[in-house]
Amino acid sequence: MDAVAELMHGRRTAVLTGAGISTDSGIPDYRGEGAPTRTPMTVQDFLSDERKRKRYWAGSHLGWRHFASAQPNAGHRTLARLENAGLVTGVVTQNVDGLHRRAGSSRVVELHGSMDTVSCLDCGQVFARQAVAEQLERANPWLETSDAVRIAPDGDADVEEVERFTLPVCTVCGGRLKPDVVFFGELVPAPRFAQAAALVARSELLLVVGSSLAVNSGIRLLEQARRRGLPIVVVNRGATKGDARAAHKLDAGASETLAELAERLLP
């Protein structure tokens, strides 16, 4: 920990976060120890199969109600403090939970989008997620909203009965709606990735927190940092694909590690 703090001292730090930083907010990790095996919805399935869209939207609605009530934890708040102190240049996150923004971080690039908004695939109209949730509840009053729903890092939940589920529709053109998140099999929009790359390029160190770096977008940013000669620090429980390229790897939880680093770095 002392060695990491010494390395970060005086260096502008870009931060890349994954699901592991949100576990203390009650949002489970995809790949951490004990995480259930899941088959995420692919964009191809969502677009081509109405029944799969129903399954996704039913689960996503139930999960989002729990997801939206999650609060930023000490890890999110510490990164906001470090940014406010001028030590962190910004946060690139693979999460779609919006917790970095709610914790007070001002420079946040949400690589995989956000669950806060929904767009029409046919006319492009954008809706607040709350408005779509209200439409779903009116159309599906039978849908269970139990506290026992098991949520996932993308706000999804497991729902078995979907045949009588009524899909939400665009209130402008009647078209298909999709949350503004990057599905599996879908590319991160080029302008958004360029924002993330620019943030790393303006920094002098890359700190990876709570990510196994199993997703290509994270590895691309890590490789950019490596090619520029930036020191890389990884904080994650368990192995990551970036361990071999890191100057330091801390096998530890996000919240407690960030709090200890802040104690050493902040006046």
Known catalytic membership, residue 76: no
170 marked as binding residue: yes
Q: How many CA atoms lie within 13 A of 198 on its CB side?
A: 9
Domain that holds residue 184: 2-265
- Looking at the predicted structure, is the pLDDT value of residue 151 above 60? no
The confidence band for 160, taking pLDDT boundaries of 50, 70 and 90, is low
- Looking at the predicted structure, is the pLDDT value of residue 209 above 80? yes
Q: In this structure, what CATH number is given to the domain that contains residue 216?
A: 3.40.50.1220
Q: Residue 128: which residues within 8 A CB-CB, separation 6 or more?
A: 116, 117, 118
CA distance 42 to 136: 22
Q: CB of 118 within 8 A of CB of 180? A: yes
123 marked as binding residue: yes
Exposure b/e, 10-29, CB count within 10 A at least 16 = b? eeebbbbbbbbbbbbbebbb
1 marked as binding residue: no
Q: Which of 9, 100, 112, 248 is catalytic?
A: 112
CA distance 250 to 15: 15
- The pLDDT mean for the chain works out to 90
State how many domains the chain has: 1
Q: What mean pLDDT do residues 147-169 have? A: 63
CA distance 240 to 17: 13
Nearest Cα residue to 125 out of 189, 166, 176, 57: 176
pLDDT in tens, 213-252: 998 999 999 999 999 999 999 999 999 999 999 999 999 9
Nearest Cα residue to 161 out of 45, 39, 86, 62: 62
Exposure b/e, 56-77, CB count within 10 A at least 16 = b? bbbbbbbbbbbbeebebbbbbb
The confidence band for 163, taking pLDDT boundaries of 50, 70 and 90, is confident
- Looking at the predicted structure, is the pLDDT value of residue 71 above 80? yes
Strand-pairing partners, residue 93, are 17, 110
CA distance 126 to 172: 10
CA distance 192 to 173: 27
pLDDT value of residue 164: 80
259 marked as binding residue: no
Q: How far apart are the first and last CA of the chain?
A: 17
Q: What mean pLDDT do residues 112-129 have? A: 96
pLDDT value of residue 32: 47
pLDDT in tens, 44-55: 999 999 999 998
The confidence band for 80, taking pLDDT boundaries of 50, 70 and 90, is very high
